[in-house]
Amino acid sequence: MYGQAFVERRSNNWGRIEGTPTPLGAVWVDQGNACNFALYSRYATGVTLLLYSPQDVVIPVLSFPMNYLKNKTGRVWHCRIPASQVPEGGYYGYRVTGPLDPDRGHYFDPDKVLLDPHARGVFFPENFSRELARSEGSNDGSAPLGLIPRKEESFDWGGDRRPLHGHDTVIYELHVKGFTKLDGQISPEKRGTFAGLAEKIPYLQELGVTVLELLPVHQYDPQEGNYWGYMTLNFFTPHVSYGKEAGAPDAVLREFREMVKAFHAAGIEVVLDVVYNHTAEGDQRGPTYSFRGIDNRSYYLMSADGKEYRNDAGTGNVLDSSNQGVQRMIVDSLNYWTHEMRVDGFRFDLATIFTRDREGRVNLDDPPIISAISGLEFYAPIRLIAEAWDPLSYQLGHDFPGITWLQWNGRFRDEVRAFVRGDRGRVASFMSSLYGSDDLFPDNLADAYHAYQSVNFITAHDGFCLYDLVAYNEKHNLANGHNNEDGADYNLSWNCGWEGDEGAPPEVLELRRRQVKNFCCILFLSNGTPMFRAGDEFMNTQHGNNNPYNQDNETSWLDWNLLEKNREIFRFFKEMISFRKAHPSLGRSRFWRDDVSWYGASGGVDYGDDSHAVAFCLRGASQRDCDIYVMINAYWEDLPFIVQEKKPGEWRRVVDTSLPSPEDIVDQNGPTVLSSRKYLVRARSVVVLVGAVPV
The residues carrying an active-site annotation are 349, 387
Torsion of CA 170, 176, 181, 187, to 10 degrees: 90
CA-wise closest residue to 75 among 281, 298, 234: 298
Collapse the DSSP code of 495 into the 3-class scheme (helix H, G, I; strand E, B; otherwise coil) and give the result: coil
DSSP 481: T
Distance of alpha carbon 117 from alpha carbon 106, whole angstroms: 18
DSSP 64: E
Collapse the DSSP code of 70 into the 3-class scheme (helix H, G, I; strand E, B; otherwise coil) and give the result: coil
Distance of alpha carbon 503 from alpha carbon 506, whole angstroms: 9
DSSP 401: S
Instruction: Return the number of other C-beta atoms located less than 10 Å from residue 589's C-beta.
Output: 12
Distance of alpha carbon 669 from alpha carbon 690, whole angstroms: 9
Q: Which residues pair with 653 in a beta bridge?
A: 689
| Distance between first and last Cα of the chain | 67
Distance of alpha carbon 42 from alpha carbon 295, whole angstroms: 7
Q: What sign does the CA torsion over 296, 301, 306, 311 have?
A: negative
Alpha carbon distances (Å) from 549 to 37, 143, 347: 36, 25, 18
Residue ranges of E strands in 491-612: 529-533, 596-599
Task: Please give the single-letter amino acid code of residue 144.
Answer: P
Whether 614 and 598 have beta carbons less than 8 Å apart is answered as yes
Instruction: Return all residues near 454 (Cβ < 8 A) that are at least 6 apart.
Output: 397, 406, 407, 409, 412, 436, 437, 440, 441, 527, 528, 529
DSSP strand pairing (406-408 vs 613-618): unpaired
Q: Which residues pair with 483 in a beta bridge?
A: 478
Helices and strands in the chain, H and E counts = 15, 32
- Count of residues for the chain? 695
CA-wise closest residue to 613 among 521, 507, 687, 694: 687
What is the Cβ-side half-sphere exposure of residue 555, based on CA atoms within 13 angstroms? 23
Instruction: Return the number of other C-beta atoms located less than 10 Å from residue 360's C-beta.
Output: 17
H helices within 234-377, ranges in order? 249-265, 291-299, 324-335, 368-374
Instruction: Return all residues near 402 (Cβ < 8 A) that are at least 6 apart.
Output: 351, 370, 373, 374, 384, 386
Distance of alpha carbon 465 from alpha carbon 279, whole angstroms: 27
Distance of alpha carbon 495 from alpha carbon 499, whole angstroms: 6
Alpha carbon distances (Å) from 318 to 85, 108, 219, 390: 38, 18, 18, 11
Distance of alpha carbon 387 from alpha carbon 263, whole angstroms: 25
